[in-house]
Chains A and B, each alone.
Chain A
Amino acid sequence: KAGVTQTPRYLIKTRGQQVTLSCSPISGHRSVSWYQQTPGQGLQFLFEYFSETQRNKGNFPGRFSGRQFSNSRSEMNVSTLELGDSALYLCASSLTGRQNIQYFGAGTRLSVL
């Protein structure tokens, strides 16, 4: 069974640009969560999608958004990039999103210059 796939692995953008990250969950998993990992803040929850609906959201500004498609694939968008958005963005999938193991992808390393 294929694991969680995130693309691209690396991205370099400049301030003010926008970026879209993609995540394909494990087959059969309907819950997709996104996290931001930085050296200072550790792993921080961004949001979770289930059946194309956002069910939960962390404390991030509205510049961070996402969506989920009918095949459970998910995208995350960050608009008007800031230097502080430089981070490793991780996607995790699970069966239902509650009391389930979350399996992570390898992440997308975003550098904002």
Chain B
Amino acid sequence: DQQVKQNSPSLSVQEGRISILNCDYTNSMFDYFLWYKKYPAEGPTFLISISSIKDKNEDGRFTVFLNKSAKHLSLHIVPSQPGDSAVYFCAASGGTDSWGKFQFGAGTQVVVTP
């Protein structure tokens, strides 16, 4: 049962433009969300977090938006840079069995072109 979904397996964006990555979840108990970037043969690198008490969090070029009623979050990267080319995962946690456990989406491959 896939509780976190990233429906776009890939995204191509021009350098300097905005990248928008989307993530949907089904479990209403999820209350804490993370975004990660991953390069091949490396572990995921933390980008930004948001808890359910907020609807937006910004950190430099990265902004995460949370729409609890729609069970949807998105990551905006502005401006996109070639070094942003990687796989991006959203992850969600919450509920009674959430100790140390995040549910991950399948990932979105982002390619930033010059």
- Could you list which residues of chain A lie within 8 angstroms of chain B, going by C-beta atoms? 4, 6, 31-33, 35, 42-43, 45, 47-50, 55-56, 58, 90, 92, 94, 97-99, 101-107, 109
Given contacts A42-B107, A43-B89, contact A106 B43 (CB under 8 A): yes
Cβ contacts under 8 Å, B31 to chain A = 99
CB distance from A61 to the nearest CB of B (A): 18
- Kindly provide the distance from the CB of B79 to the nearest chain A CB, expressed in whole angstroms: 25
Q: Which residues of A contact B34 (CB under 8 A)?
A: 101-102
Contacts of B102 in A (CB 8 A): 33, 45, 102
Q: Can you list 13 A-B pairs, Cβ within 8 angstroms, ordered by A?
A: A4-B43, A31-B100, A33-B101, A42-B107, A45-B101, A45-B102, A98-B99, A98-B100, A99-B31, A99-B51, A106-B41, A106-B43, A107-B42
Once bound together, how far apart are the Cα atoms of A94 and B99, in whole Å?
Answer: 11
CB of B99, distance to nearest CB on chain A (Å): 4
- Residues from chain A with a CB closer than 8 A to the CB of B41 are 106-107, 109
